[in-house]
Each structure stands twice: as C-alpha cells, then as structure tokens.
A and B are shown apart, each in its own frame.
Chain A
Amino acid sequence: MTTRILHKPEISPAATVAAFDAIIAEVQEKGISADELEQLKVKWRSDYYAMLEGGRGGYMPKYGLMHLLACFSLFDGEPQLVNSILDGFLQVTPEQVQAAAKKYLVKENRAIVFRAPVAPPESAGEQEAA
C-alpha cells in the first residue's frame, strides 16, 4: 500500500504524518461503518468496470481487460477469474477491514520518504546576476 500526500508549506511534514496516522488509528480502534463500506463497494465495482475498458487511452482501448486476462492466465491459469474476482471484494465485512488495518497498517512495517525542495543557497541571486 502506497499513500502520497502533498502538504501545504505552512504545515510541517511531522504534523501531516500525524494526521495520516490518526485516521489509520481510528479505523484500527473503531472500524468503519457499514454505510461507509457500502459506499466504497459501489465505487469499487464501478471503478472495476471502468478499468476493464480503460488504461491506455484511445490508442489501446480495453487495455485493462487485456491486462487482467494476461495476469489471471499467467499466475492462476484461470482467465475466467476476470468475471468473478469482483465478488470477493464485495463480500468484505467491516470487521475484516478493521482486522486488516490492525494487522498490516503498522508503523513497524512501513517506510516514509519525505521529498522536499532544496532551499537555494544564499548567494544564488548574485550568481544569476553575474
């Protein structure tokens, strides 16, 4: 799982990560509501169908479908999984979401990369003018 966060300059990187952690902690402690999970499942199903048609724009329509057929053939020997893989995602329960968050979204198991602009050296203005 990869998360990208672009934060405003007036917010510190540490405060940004703390806000991110607070959301994960909430899911670990309280889980998510059945209603929120239902919303996500609808979006997931819609995005899955969209992915089958899309992927590489007009120059390679239905790339998503080709890609999944290739993966399911290569790794599972079962290209027809493209028709049923969605069912498993739609059966996920709020308890399973909470359990997965507790098991996998742990600080011992992650790396954070901070990418920050380098402040220009103080003499940069003079160099440019020279």
Chain B
Amino acid sequence: MATPTAVPSNTVPALSSERAVNWPKRVKSKLANGLEIVLVESHTIPRFHGSLYFRSGNAAVSHISPGLAEMTATMVRTGTAKRVSRRIEEDLRRLGADLASSSGQDTSAISFAGLSEFAEPLLGLVNELAREASFPETEFERERRQKLEEVKLERTQPAFLASERLRKVLFGDHPYARISPSEEQVAAYKIADLQSIYRASYTPENALMLLVGDFDPQSMLTSIEKIFGNWAGKKPSIPAAASPANPRGRRVYLVHVPGAVQAQILCGCHSITRKHADWVNLGLTNSLYGGAFNSRLVMNIREAKGYTYSPRSSVTPLQQYGYFSVSAAVRNEVVAASLTEIFYELDKLRSLRVPDAELADAQNYLSGVFSMGLATQDGLLSQIATVALNDLPDDYLETYRAKVRAVTPADLQATAQKYFDSANMQIIVVGDRSKIETQAALFGDIEAIDAQGNKLP
C-alpha cells in the first residue's frame, strides 16, 4: 500500500471546474386513455423507482374536510378487491419491493421501488391499488384511530402550530390555509367521502406515471400499455378556490403555549411558484440568506450569537401560489433580538450588493447540491417529478446550473427587493405569552391565540 507523503495543508484546495452531466434518456408518452408517461433510464443498480401521480390532493377536496385526500391515499394501500392488507405486504416482499401512498396539497401518489426483473407484477399491484381499492371498514377505523393520535400529537409541537398559523394568515379562505384536520374533523370522516374522492381523482386523465431505473423504455412502455391500457376515467372537477389573503403590514400572531421553555419564530410572506421566471434567482437569494448552513442568517444567529441551533429560510412552491418563510426556535430571552437579526439580514440583502466571492460560494453550493441530487434513481425521480408536475420546460434540468451561474450581484439585490417583503412579513411566535409578549409586541400589533386556534383576550 502506498504511504501518503504529502503534508496536509490547512487551506481549502481550489475547486476544479464543474463536470458535465450525462443526462439520462427520457421517453415521454401518453396512452389513449389520457395516462401521461415519463420513462427515464438509470442503470446504476438493477432496480427501478416509480410514482403514479394524480394531479389533485388535499386542496382539491378541502371544501369537504381538511386532509381527506391524505386519508384516501392511506386507505388505498390497505386492501383491494383481490388482496387483503396482509397479502399486499407478502406480495411486496416476494417482489423485493416497497410501496407507499400519500397525498399533499396538490398531488396524490402511489410511490414504489423494486427489482427490475419484477417490474410487471409490481405495476400490476399498483394498477390494482389505483383502480380496485376496497376501503375495508376495519382498516378505516384503525387508520382513523392512528390519525387521531397524530393530530393530537402535532398540536403539542411548536413548529406545527407556527406553520398552521402562518398558512392561515397568508391564505385566508384559500384551501392552502388548511394544513391539518382537527380531532373533530377526523372523527367525522366518512368512508363514503373517501370512496367518492377515490373514484373521481384516481383516473388516467388525472394521472402521470413516472419511472426511473434499470429497464428498456420500449418494453416498459409495452408493459404499461398492457397493464393500464383499459383503465378509463375523466379529470375530476375541482371547485374554484377563493383568492388567498394578502396581508399588508407587519402583524404578530402569538400562539400561547403555557410553560414553553423556548419560542418558535416563523415569519413569512407570499412569493412565487416553480413556474415563475424568477425561480432560480429567488432560490439562490434564499440560499444565501438562510437556505444553507453557511448562509448569513445561520452564521449570524446560530454561529456568532448562539440564539438558536437551526434557523432556516425556505421558499415553498405550491402549485398555485408560493411563499417565503424564515424559522428559528430560540431561547425565550432572545425573541426580540432574533427578530431584529432576521429583519436586519433581509433588509441588508435588499440594500447592499452581495460581494462576488460570497455569491460564487452560494452558486457552487446550489449547483453542487443539484448535481448530487441526480446521482441516484430516487434523486432523479424527484427532480424529474418536479419538472413534470409543474409543467416546466423540457430542458429545465439541463439548463438549471447555467442559470444559477448567470445570476449577478445586481440580480440578487433586485430579487431580494422584490420578494423579501420585509414590510409585509407576517410574524408568528409560539411560546409562553408571559415570557415573550412584550418582546414580540415591538414588531407589530399582536393577536394572541391558543394551541386550538381560539382567540385569547
């Protein structure tokens, strides 16, 4: 074995230039019944990852009750006309496969992964779940009990209470305002509602099949046609949603949790969706502000001042609207100090140009993380799903790194001025009112609420 002779240097070596990506071949197709298909070759391991997406989720049915699409997705996995729950689990093991069903605000999905040699039987099971789910009564009661435990538990978690309140404040009567059901709403879930959501939204016209992995696209396409070809169903009709709230001016919402030993801060304002032309610029601006570990906010209130362990900012792009938010769990004594720094760093990016070297670091980070995200089958799947579900241009992934590299300090400042809307940021603070109210009141008029959402005097 060779003995290392070089003396370790204490300076960071220069980055070499970024390597080209070998973009995987993609095959797009559409069956006569409307099912959209995207197949991506990735021969790294003899497996494949897939998702059967439906382009509607909790937001589309929130007029009936919050979280109903999610409960529908949960039930889809618990039994079909041909297989009971236990049989589904055994068959998955026999195929070396994993499978999950879930639903977010905008989409529902049956996601799966398994050995390439068993692709057909696994797709056969997916087909059964999408078309013949049987909604067994006993499974429904079990899932409902579990959901009740979940909603009880989440109401004890400050980060959940903060997100729930921010969404209410930013979205008002729009379905995006409702992120989780109450215990009463879960108790009132009806199996017939789940079945009608299933019949209306699990249809080929509403669906996108995305597969990434070790397979030949042409023979995979033949298999999909054979298995899903005689499926039929229209797009669901989704009621028009109310316009979201557009809160002007800073306002503070204090969610009172008696005895809390720290405070959860969450500030947010409306921003943009993935389809917007400013998306890459905003992603980079956010990465520099608080989206990465070496970002300004983290260096300031975590590293320099020690107010918190994990401050973060992010842009959440839902399908119809997006929002920007900043979060930090801080010690009770430094609520005002933390808010001051949060706004200072926002306003600094709006006021002063970013030094070239700092911008270059952020560009390297964002571009490098993006490249790593393409290295595995499930990483590719998530990137390609983003493109397909948001109807982004076909060359979105291919051109992403170049777009990140092209951002200038002037672009970044303009982006911060446009989207870091510090004058209209809504401020949520979750914690013990007696410890934090006077500090929070320095940043705007206060509305106090309890953990159940009731207004406090």
* Contact A46:B115 (CB < 8 A) given known A53-B378, A59-B369: yes
Q: Which of A39-69 contact B (CB under 8 A)?
A: 39-40, 42-43, 45-47, 49-50, 52-54, 58-62
Q: Are A43 and B96 in contact (CB under 8 A)?
A: yes
Distance of A70 from chain B, by nearest CB (Å): 14
The 3 residue pairs across chains A and B that have the minimum distance between CB atoms: A46-B96, A61-B375, A49-B45
Q: Told that A46-B115, A61-B373 touch, could you supply 9 new A-B pairs with CB distance under 8 A?
A: A42-B95, A42-B96, A45-B96, A45-B115, A49-B46, A50-B45, A52-B45, A53-B377, A58-B382
Question: Is B93 located at the chain interface by the 8 A CB criterion?
Answer: yes
Question: Which range contains the number of A residues in contact with the other chain?
Answer: 10 to 19
Chain B residues positioned under 8 Å from A42 (CB to CB)? 93-96, 115, 118
Complexed CA–CA distance, A39 and B47 (Å): 17
In Å, the complex CA distance between A100 and B16 comes to: 51
Q: Does B156 contact A (CB under 8 A)?
A: no
Which residues on A sit within 8 Å (CB–CB) of B94? 39, 42
**B residues in contact (CB < 8 Å) with A:** 44-47, 90, 93-97, 113-115, 118, 259, 369, 372-373, 375-379, 382
| Contact partners of B118 in chain A: CB under 8 A | 42
Residues of chain A within 8 A (CB-CB) of B115 are 42, 45-46, 49
* B-side contacts of A59, CB under 8 Å: 369, 372
Q: Whole-angstrom distance between the alpha carbons of A42 and B94 in the complex?
A: 6
Instruction: Offer 7 A-B interface pairs, CB within 8 angstroms, sorted by A.
Output: A40-B93, A42-B115, A43-B93, A46-B115, A49-B46, A53-B377, A53-B378
Give the residues in chain A near B373, CB-CB below 8 Å: 58, 61
Query: Which B residues lie within 8 Å of A47 (CB)?
Result: 96
Is A49 in contact with B47, judged by CB distance below 8 angstroms? yes
Main secondary structure of the interface of B (DSSP, over half): mixed
When distances are taken between beta carbons in the complex, the residues of chain A under 8 Å from B45 are 49-50, 52-53
Pair A39/B372 contact, Cβ less than 8 Å: no
Name the distance in Å between B446's Cβ and chain A's nearest Cβ. Answer: 25
- From residue B258, how far is it (CB to closest CB) to chain A in Å? 8
Set of chain B residues within 8 Å of A49, measured between Cβ atoms: 45-47, 115
Docked Cα-Cα span, A54 to B377, in Å, equals 10
Q: Is the CB of A61 within 8 A of B379?
A: yes
A9 CB → nearest B CB, Å: 11
Q: Which residues of chain A are near B114, meaning CB under 8 Å?
A: 46
Interface 1/0s, chain A 101-130, versus B by CB < 8 A? 000000000000000000000000000100
Interface 1/0 per residue, A19-45 and B, CB below 8 Å: 000000000000000000001101101
Q: Which residues of A contact B372 (CB under 8 A)?
A: 58-61
CB-CB under 8 A from A54, the residues of chain B are 376, 378
Give B96's nearest chain A residue, CB to CB: A46
Q: Which residues of B contact A52 (CB under 8 A)?
A: 45
Contact, CB under 8 Å: B376 / A39 = no
Q: How far is the CB of B84 from chain A (nearest CB, A)?
A: 17
B405 → A minimal CB distance (Å): 20
Chain B residue contacts of A50, Cβ below 8 A: 45, 47, 113
Q: Nearest residue in A to B214 (C-beta to C-beta)?
A: A49
Contacts of B382 in A (CB 8 A): 58
Closest-CB distance, B449 to chain A (whole angstroms): 21
